[in-house]
Amino acid sequence: MSDIAGKIAWVTGASSGLGWRFAQVLAQTGAVVALTARRVDRLEALAAELTAAGGRALVVPADTTSVEQIRAAAARIEAEAGPIDILVNNAGISRQAKLENVSEDDYDAVLDTNLKGPFFVAQAAARQMIAHKLPGRIVNIASVASFRTLGQQAPYGMAKAAMVHMTQDMAREWGRHGINTNAICPGYIRTEIAGDYWATEAGAKLINGLPRKRLGEPRDLDGLLLLLCSGEAARFINGASMTADDGMCAW
């Protein structure tokens, strides 16, 4: 995927988990990576790691539930690094609760972070791609919850299902501008956010119920990420939502 080298790649939710890994992979491939999340110390640590390895990174803190902060972050990236070529729309959260116990605050937090934020992040990136006539690549990070229910995760699944529809809308409208929009829908991936849960009895039971009784690792998404971020390799892939779930949705 050598055509990623030199591109400006914006990764949201980069302070941990999959976002951290996505930033590492794109930097290793030669992209200039703009790192966005709320935890500035974590972003600075990641930027230092990427720079020490020979990569190039720009720390752009923002709360992606704020449209004002999203637009300010996009403008800063363009001013300091150049117009955005690649967006990895990754920021997201979950709140576990039975339907009858979902609070308004948790509902709003999940929908704002997992749907409203990604919409306006993609809009900000696409405006630059259109203005500069760039063959942009937008990769929305959805979930297997887009296609099947997960226990006590209704608002999360609702947001991720809507993200798949959003991906198709963006592909249809922005494809004429040379922008390809696709989604990655991971299954259960081992990250630090849920690390303690997998060591519990409930976590072990869930893993045992998976098709191959194992979790994915962040590196298992590397190939799909690079494919969808590539200009040439992904030239005919637009509006797709691809699962990387070890057969979970087929089970």
- pLDDT means per 10 residues, the chain with 251 residues, are 92 97 98 98 98 98 98 98 98 94 97 98 98 97 94 95 98 98 96 81 91 95 98 97 93 76
How much is the pLDDT for 138?
98
Q: What angle do CA 207, 213, 216 make, to 5 degrees?
A: 80
- Which residues are bridge partners to 200 per DSSP? none
Residues tagged active-site: 156
pLDDT (0 to 100) of residue 74? 98
pLDDT given at position 1: 64
- 194 secondary structure, DSSP code: G
How high is the pLDDT of residue 2?
82
Could you tell me which of 193, 112, 188, 111 has the C-alpha nearest to residue 150? 188
Q: Which two tokens stand for residue 129?
A: 């791609």
Which residue, 183, 173, 169, 175, is CA-closest to 235?
175
CA pair distance 11, 87, nearest whole angstrom: 6
User: Of the candidates 227, 229, 198, which has an alpha carbon nearest to the alpha carbon of residue 215?
Assistant: 198
* Rounded (5°) CA angle 44-1-73: 35
Q: What is the pTM of this model?
A: 0.96
Enumerate domains of the chain plus CATH numbers: 2-243 (3.40.50.720)
